[in-house]
Amino acid sequence: MKNKKIIVCDAIHSKGFELLNKEKDIDVIDAVKVPKDELLKLLADVDVAITRSSTDVDEKFLNSAKNLKAIVRAGVGVDNVDQEGCSRRGIIAMNVPTANTIAAVELTMAHLLGTARSFPNANNHLKLDRVWKREKWYGVELCGKKLGVIGFGNIGSRVALRAKSFEMDVIAYDPYISASKATDLGIGYTENFEDILTCDFITIHTPKNKETEDIISYDEIAKMKDGVRLVNCARGGLYNEKALYEGIKSGKIAYAGIDVFSYEPATDHFLLDLENICVTPHLGANTLESQEKIALQAAEAAVSAARGISYPHALNLPIKAEDLPPFVEPYLELVQKMAFMAAQINKAHIKSVKIEAEGEVGEYVKSLLTFALVGSLKESIGNKINYVNAEFVANEKGIETKYEAKPSTSGYKNKITIKLTTDKSVTNISGTVFGENEQRIVGINGFKFDFKPKGKMIVFKNSDVPGVIADISTILAKSGVNIADFRLGRDEHGLAMAVILVDEDISKKLISELNSLETCIWAEYAVL
C-alpha cells in the first residue's frame, strides 16, 4: 500500500518530527524553511498538512493541494485557515486547542504582576539607562485588589485560581457557564458586566467573535475606576485598541499588559509609543513544554487523519451525507443555523437542547441533534466546538440533550424545531425546507414567520401598539442602518415580534437603545 504523505509547513518542536518519522506508512515532507511561494509546488500529492500561523491556508494553498484530506493547525487559533474553503473541498480542518493552556495562564500572571509593579520599565531604566531611581517605580499590591475575569473557560478559570492564591478578590463574568462553576472554586460570579468594570484589574479570556470584539471600548473604559489595570493575552481586538490607547495616555488606565494585537506582527503599532504598557509578541504558547505538547498532539492528529482513523478536534466534520437520504442534508445545515440563532438571542448558560422533527425527517432526528449542539455552543465556545466533540462538551457542561420524532400536524411535510433552554429563558425556533434546499425559518417562540436563515437581523419583541415600527425605523435611520426586510408576527395576546434584516453591523449600543423603547420587551441581534 502506498505511503501517506504529511507535509509540515511551519516550525514545530522536534518531538513532533520524531513521532512522524517513526511511522513506517508515513512519508514526511519537511517544508519549514521552504519559501511560501515555493511551498505551493510541494502540495500536489500530500494527504495532510501541518501548519501554524505563518502559513495561510487560503484559496491558493487549497487549490494547490489537490489530494489534501485534512489540515492540522498546530495551535488554538485558526484565523489563517479558510474553513469554508476546506469544507467545500471535503478537507477536514483541525486544531490543537488545549496544549498551550498552562503557558497562556502563566503569561497572563506575568502580565498581571507586570501591570502592578511596572517591571519592564524599571528593568529598562536600570539596565539600559543605568539610572537607580527607586522612588520612580512605586507599584501596587495584588493582595486585596479585585480582579475581574472575562471568560471562565480553561484559561480564565486557572488564572482566577492563581490570582486567588495572591489573595485577590476575584469575580468572573461568563454568561455561558453555570454560576456554580465559579462559586464552587471560591470565585465570585456576576451576570452583570458592569460589575467587572468596577474592578482594580481586568483580564480577558474569550474567543474572538462578534459578541466579544471590542467588548472593552470607550464607554466601558469611561465607567472603570481611575487607575485600572488591564491585561489581554487572549485575542487581539477584544479591547478596542484606539480606546485602550486613549485610556492609557490619559491616565485613566494606569497600566496595561498586552500580548496580542488586531494585526500582527505589530512592530509599528501605536500602542508601542506609550510608556505605561508592557507588550509581548504573542507569546501565549511560547514555552518549551507547550511547544512540545502542541507538536506531539498535531503530529498524532495528522497521522490519525492520514490513516482515516479519526479527526481529533475537527472543526468542520459533518455526519456522512452518504448515510442519509438527500432530502435530509439541508435540514442538517438548517438546524445548526437555527440553533446558532437561538443561542444569539438567548445568551445565557444553556441548560438543555431539544430537537423536535415532524414528518419523514423525524426518522433522522438523532443526526440533527449533533448539528444543533454545534450551533448552540458555537456562540459561547467558538471554534473549539465541532461535530466530533459536541456531545462530549454538552455532557461536560451538564447540558441535557433530547430529541423527539412527531407526526406532522403543522401543515408542513417536514418541520424541525429547536428548543433552547437557558438560565434566562426558553427559545423555540422552527424551520422547514421547500424544494431541494430552500431553507426557511417559519416560527420563533410561537410567532409565525417566513424568512431565509441568512444575514444580519434584529429580533424585536414588543407590545402590539401603534407607532412601534416608526420608533424602530427612526432609531435605525439615525444610526445609518438600512433595513433590507421587515418581517412581523403577531399573537392573540397583544404582543408582536419583528425580524428586521439589515445591511450594516449592529452595535451593542444600538441594541441597548432599542431595548430602552417603552414598547420593547426585548431586542437582540443575530448574524447567520
C-alpha cell at 274: 506609550
**Residue among 20, 18, 16 at smallest CA distance from 5:** 20
SS (H, E, C) 436-457: CCEEEEEEECCEEEEECCCCEE
50 SS3 class: strand
Residue written as cell 513544554? 289
Rounded distance between C-alpha atoms, residue 517 and residue 437, angstroms: 38
C-alpha cell at 480: 445609518
**Residues involved in catalysis:** 235, 264, 282
State CA 197 to chain mean position distance: 22
C-alpha cell at 518: 417603552
225 SS3 class: coil
- Long-range contact list for 408-413, CB < 8 A, 24+ apart? 408/358, 408/359, 409/358, 410/358, 412/358, 412/359, 412/442, 413/359, 413/360
C-alpha cell at 80: 489563517
500 SS3 class: strand
- Long-range contact list for 443-447, CB < 8 A, 24+ apart? 443/417, 443/489, 444/489, 444/497, 444/499, 445/497, 446/491, 447/489, 447/490, 447/491, 447/496, 447/497
C-alpha cell at 327: 432530502
Q: Are 380 and 394 in contact (CB under 8 A)?
A: no
Q: Are 483 and 500 in contact (CB under 8 A)?
A: yes
Bridge-based pairing state of the strands 415-422 and 350-358: antiparallel
Residue written as cell 495572591? 166
Q: Are 338 and 355 in contact (CB under 8 A)?
A: no
Q: Are 97 and 76 in contact (CB under 8 A)?
A: yes
State CA 145 to chain mean position distance: 29
Question: Residue 265: is the preceding peptide bond cis (ω within 30°)?
Answer: yes
45 SS3 class: coil
Bridge-based pairing state of the strands 400-406 and 350-358: parallel
